[in-house]
Amino acid sequence: MTLETDVDAGPVVVRTTYSIPTEREPDFMRAMLRVRESRLRTGATQWGLFRNGERLGEFEEIFVVASWDEHLRQHRERMTATDIAYEDQAKALSDTTPQTWHLLPTDPDKR
Q: What value does the mean pLDDT of the chain take?
A: 90
Average pLDDT over residues 68-94: 90
Beta bridge partners of residue 13, listed in sequence order: 64, 103
Does residue 44 or residue 2 have the better pLDDT? 44
Amino acid at 73: R
Q: What is Dmax (Cα atoms) for the chain?
A: 49
- Tell me the pLDDT tens digit for each residue of 9-33: 779 999 999 999 999 999 999 999 9
Residue 63's φ and ψ, nearest 5 degrees, are -140, 160
Domains of the chain: 12-103 (3.30.70.100)
Model confidence, pTM: 0.86
